[in-house]
């Protein structure tokens, strides 16, 4: 046993804050007085015989509750028994009983009913594993209990146990670090039992790191425990004070407190307490051989206990992990199903959204195209109407005038020429805006248009005209292309003075390209020239037309549709 190890018995802070809860429950029992007496004999061990009878009493209570399927109370009575076993130093028995109580409350589905006992039992397992020096397991159960608690009194008690575990590992700085943040709050506690445990531990740990407040805190704890007549607490306080003065080389006071430790161990009639009291006495006598014997005996006993120990709590923890693994597996499967469902819903939603978007775009393009076609049709109808009106009204009227004038023989010859020129112009206008018969073969219809501009002075050449799939064009594009080429040819005849015009046709996929060239006088291209109308026409069918010309160097145009 380590010479500086703090007594495991004072770790039993007894969870005094639960006394009121226990009392309220016990009052409802038919054997109220007996229950309270035996309960208090476990909380404060003053009469060992009475404490022994308390074990039998609560064992009978446990059997009766179990027979009545009262799982909550059955687990509660086991918890009291395990508490008493630990206080008496029966660590192995306490472990088995604690785990048995945990197994019982695991059967209860309503976790709200099991929260409080689970807090206490987790803390108890931490104390048990600390006693057998499995510090990692002890810290794990302490932290588990701490996580379940949000009550200040409970947290202080558990933190005290955590600090004790670090002290066992001789990490006193860490032990003080765990406790010191709660110092002011502890001084205000009404539960003086918990206050005494905290102050005694803190003071002892402070003494190990040379803190001047160490002795004051330990003495405060001793005074509280003397008033409470708490034998276990007094055993711890006297032992700490004896060790404190031993390290200060004040052997007289160290021996004085050592005798108090020995006297209390006799009153408790517990081998564990008696052994610890004897170890302290031998340390004061500096009998190194006997001290070494005790240490070796304790080491052997501890190893034997660890080998014999079933580690029920570890097994319980393993079962809990298996349950948790199964729960996680179900949770993962459930999450996967939810994820698949969400993915499917998302896919459906995205598909609907995409379909909606496609329908919207289609409707937009359809309406836009329909509107464009209607607009082009209106333009075409307007042109046709103008053509008919010019032909029916203007040209015919002028013709009638010319006929009358010829009969009178009065008008000069140049006037007749002028009238004939007007007639020709109106005829051209009519031709330019005349009806396009798209029911005729378009290829021949277009070729006739181009060749109609040929004369004795102008030669028209078309190249690769038949390489183009003219049937691939819709009626709107056919009409627009017809008008654009017509306007180019009319512009050539009126302005270019060309003698040769070459039109080259080609097709790349669905795209049709037409290259126009003439050897006319050319021109300076102006942004708002008369050819601007052809650009608007081509743009209306998503086509393009570009021009290239210089004065005295001909005229070129490239159309793509």
Would residue 395 count as lying in a domain?
Answer: yes
Instruction: Out of 18-32, 225-239, 370-384, 427-441, pick the least confident.
Output: 18-32
pLDDT at 237 over 90: yes
Does residue 22 or residue 130 have the better pLDDT?
130
Q: pLDDT tens digit string along 277-307? A: 888 888 887 666 766 776 777 677 666 655 5
pLDDT at 156 over 50: yes
Cα–Cα distance between 45 and 267 in angstroms, integer?
A: 9
Mean pLDDT of 55-76: 90
Can you name the residues that pair with 517 across neighbouring β-strands?
Answer: 502, 556
pLDDT at 242 over 50: yes
Neighbours of 282 (CB within 10 A): 19
Within the chain, how many helices (H) and strands (E) appear? 22, 5
Would residue 292 count as lying in a domain?
Answer: yes
Query: pLDDT-derived band of residue 171, with 50, 70 and 90 as boundaries?
Result: very high
Would residue 433 count as lying in a domain?
Answer: no
Q: pLDDT tens digit string along 384-429? A: 656 665 665 566 666 666 666 666 655 556 666 666 666 666 656 6
Would residue 392 count as lying in a domain?
Answer: yes
Cα–Cα distance between 378 and 180 in angstroms, integer?
A: 93
Answer yes or no: do 261 and 196 share one domain. yes
Angle (deg, nearest 10), helices 32-43 and 71-87: 40
Strand order in the sheet with 555-560: 459-463, 500-508, 511-518, 555-560, 544-549
Answer yes or no: do 355 and 462 share one domain. no
pLDDT at 314: 47
Question: pTM of this prediction?
Answer: 0.45
Mean pLDDT of 227-253: 90
Answer yes or no: do 387 and 463 share one domain. no
pLDDT at 27: 39
Count structural domains, the chain.
3
pLDDT at 23: 40
Query: pLDDT-derived band of residue 3, with 50, 70 and 90 as boundaries?
Result: very low
Answer yes or no: do 468 and 342 share one domain. no
Burial 291-303 (b: 16+ CB within 10 A, else e): beebeeeeeeeee
- Of 288, 310, 332, which closes a domain? 310
Mean pLDDT of 332-355: 78
- Tell how far CA 416 is from the center of its chain: 93
pLDDT at 11: 37
Neighbours of 451 (CB within 10 A): 12
pLDDT at 429: 60
In percent, how much of the chain has pLDDT > 90?
26
Residue 501 belongs to domain spanning: 439-560
CATH number of the domain within which 70 lies: 1.25.40.10
pLDDT at 310: 43
Answer yes or no: do 184 and 42 share one domain. yes
For residue 517, give the 3-state DSSP assignment.
Answer: strand
Answer yes or no: do 305 and 335 share one domain. no
Cα–Cα distance between 284 and 481 in angstroms, integer?
A: 120
Would residue 434 count as lying in a domain?
Answer: no
Answer yes or no: do 269 and 343 share one domain. no
For residue 445, give the 3-state DSSP assignment.
Answer: helix
pLDDT at 110: 83
Here the tokens at position 411 are 């008008």
Answer yes or no: do 140 and 232 share one domain. yes
Q: Is the dihedral of CA 388, 394, 398, 401 positive or negative?
A: positive
Query: pLDDT-derived band of residue 20, with 50, 70 and 90 as boundaries?
Result: very low
Mean model confidence pLDDT for the chain: 79
pLDDT at 7 over 80: no
């Amino acid at each position: 046993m380590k010479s500086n190890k703090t007594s495991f018995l004072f770790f039993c802070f007894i969870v005094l804050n639960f006394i009121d809860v226990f009392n309220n429950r016990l009052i409802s029992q038919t054997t109220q007085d007996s229950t309270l007496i035996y309960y208090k004999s476990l909380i404060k061990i003053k009469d060992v015989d009475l404490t022994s009878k308390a074990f039998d009493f609560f064992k009978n209570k446990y059997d009766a509750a179990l027979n009545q399927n009262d799982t909550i109370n059955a687990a509660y009575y086991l918890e009291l028994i395990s508490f008493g076993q630990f206080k008496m130093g029966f660590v192995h028995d306490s472990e088995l009983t604690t785990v048995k109580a945990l197994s019982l409350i695991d059967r209860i589905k309503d976790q709200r009913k099991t929260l409080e006992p689970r807090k206490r039992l987790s803390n108890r397992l931490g104390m048990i594993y600390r006693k057998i020096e499995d510090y990692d397991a002890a810290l794990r159960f302490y932290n588990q209990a701490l996580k379940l608690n949000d009550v200040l009194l409970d947290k202080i008690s558990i933190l005290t146990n955590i600090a004790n575990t670090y002290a066992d590992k001789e990490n006193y700085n860490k032990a003080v670090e765990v406790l010191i943040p709660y110092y002011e709050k502890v001084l205000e506690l009404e539960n003086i039992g918990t206050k005494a445990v905290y102050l005694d531990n803190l003071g002892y740990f402070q003494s190990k790191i040379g803190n001047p407040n160490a002795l004051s805190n330990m003495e405060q704890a001793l005074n509280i425990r003397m008033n409470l007549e708490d034998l276990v607490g007094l055993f711890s306080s006297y032992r700490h004070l004896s060790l404190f003065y031993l390290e200060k080389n004040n052997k007289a006071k160290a021996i004085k407190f050592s005798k108090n430790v020995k006297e209390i161990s006799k009153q408790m009639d517990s081998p564990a307490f008696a052994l610890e009291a004897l170890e302290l006495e031998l340390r004061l006598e500096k009998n190194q051989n006997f001290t070494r014997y005790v240490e070796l005996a304790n080491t052997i006993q501890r190893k034997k206990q660890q080998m014999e120990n079933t580690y029920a709590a570890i097994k319980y923890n393993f079962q809990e992990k298996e349950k948790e693994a199964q729960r996680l597996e179900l949770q993962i499967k459930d999450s996967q199903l939810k994820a698949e469902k969400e993915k499917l819903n998302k896919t459906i939603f995205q598909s609907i959204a995409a379909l909606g978007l496609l329908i919207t775009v289609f409707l937009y393009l359809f309406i836009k195209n329909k509107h464009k076609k209607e607009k082009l049709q209106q333009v075409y109808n307007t042109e046709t109407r103008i053509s008919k009106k010019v032909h029916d009204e203007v040209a015919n009227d002028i013709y009638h005038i010319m006929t009358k004038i010829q009969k009178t023989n009065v008008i000069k010859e140049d006037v007749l020429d002028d009238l004939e020129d007007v007639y020709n112009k109106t005829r051209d206008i009519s031709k330019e805006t005349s009806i396009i018969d798209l029911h005729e073969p378009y290829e021949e219809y277009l070729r006739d248009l181009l060749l109609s501009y040929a004369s004795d002075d102008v030669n028209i050449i078309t190249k690769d005209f038949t390489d183009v799939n003219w049937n691939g064009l819709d009626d709107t594009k056919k009409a627009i292309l017809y008008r654009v080429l017509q306007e180019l040819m009319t512009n050539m005849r009126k302005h270019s003075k060309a003698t040769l015009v070459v039109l080259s046709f080609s097709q790349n996929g669905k795209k049709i390209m037409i290259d126009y060239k003439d050897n006319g006088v050319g021109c300076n291209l102006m942004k708002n020239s008369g050819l601007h109308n052809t650009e608007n026409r081509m743009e209306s069918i998503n086509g393009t037309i570009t021009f290239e010309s210089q004065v005295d160097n001909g005229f070129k145009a490239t159309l793509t549709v």
